[in-house]
Structure 1
Amino acid sequence: MNRKLAQPVSCVRNFSVLLSSTPRGARLARLLATEQLRTWGLPSDPAQLIVAELANNAATHGRVPGRNFQLLLYVVRDTLRIEVVDTRGDRLPCLRHTTSADQTGRGLTLVAALADRWGVTPGLPPRKTVWAELTLPVTE
């Protein structure tokens, strides 16, 4: 007798990687996240842009020489959660009001515009987690 096993109602998927707090580590975070989302059969946009911004912030503003940052992706039901953990818990990010003349400072504004929810969670010293959540499209 050939039976199909019932799929679990709530499948939780996760991915985690430590990366160097450098521009190269930030680029690698975006590439790895894009590939992981492809593997899971999920759209890469706008998640890859959010990962790029959060990883770049970790490598730029959360950088401590010799310490890495961590990228985590979680899928629970219809939500993709992106987390970037760095070791500069003393430097909490905030939205900046920029002008057209500003060369930088738009990263979190972009994250806020693309994500359904985002925030910052203090961690065990010296860490902090900057996270963003996206509601995934329903697939049949």
Structure 2
Amino acid sequence: MTSLRTPVEALSAGHPMYSQAFPCEPATAEPGRELVRCVLSVWHLDGLADRAALIFTELIANASEHTPCPEIRLTVGRTSATRLRVGVVDREPSRLPILSQAADDDESGRGLLLVDAVADRWGYDLHGSDRRPWGKEVWAELRTEGGK
């Protein structure tokens, strides 16, 4: 398992971003939550840590359940002065996230509903060319000030 013992430093200019590769498995949720809490602490955004950690947990669960990729990349970034984006990159561009309703007796299928409820917005971006995408990033954004 990858260790987070390496210090995380905030960038002083531009829109900072941090990313790290992990195995594509449910156990990655724990170091993913640790990663986002560490980065948000450095950026003085601790108030968003619980929501961001929950989003990571759900996105990691979806990637590990719906993609055969051996590895995923977790990303945490400031897309602007007022937005935080967390995402999971995998190499399965053909398996796109779909927001659907789970039946009351279903044991799974509520992850994106939960992400939709706690994030200000979410979506996905394909990576690579339009003709030959090599992967996708499923992401969610939170407002850093005046948010939900």
Q: Does 1:69 align with 2:72?
A: yes
In the TM superposition, structure 1's runs of 4+ consecutive aligned residues that sit over 4 Å from their partners are: none
1:90 — aligned with what?
94
Of structures 1 and 2, the larger Rg is shown by 1
What is the CA distance between 1:137 and its match in structure 2? 2.0
Which residue identity is paired with 1:126?
W
Which secondary structure state, in structure 2, belongs to the residue aligned with residue 26 of structure 1? helix
Percent identity (aligned)? 37
Measured against aligned partners, the alpha-carbon deviations of 1:36-82 in whole angstroms (never above 9, x if no partner) come to 11222112121111111111211221232xx3101111112010011
Which secondary structure state, in structure 1, belongs to the residue aligned with residue 134 of structure 2? coil
In the aligned structure 1, how far is the partner of 2:34 from the partner of 2:68?
20
CA RMSD of aligned residues (A): 1.7
Which residue identity is paired with 2:50?
D
Q: Does 1:137 align with 2:142?
A: no
Matched length: 128
Q: Does 1:20 align with 2:47?
A: no
In the aligned structure 2, how far is the partner of 1:131 from the partner of 1:109?
14
Structure 2 unmatched ranges of 5 or more: 1-11
1:41 — aligned with what?
44
Which secondary structure state, in structure 1, belongs to the residue aligned with residue 125 of structure 2? strand
In the aligned structure 2, how far is the partner of 1:69 from the partner of 1:79?
23
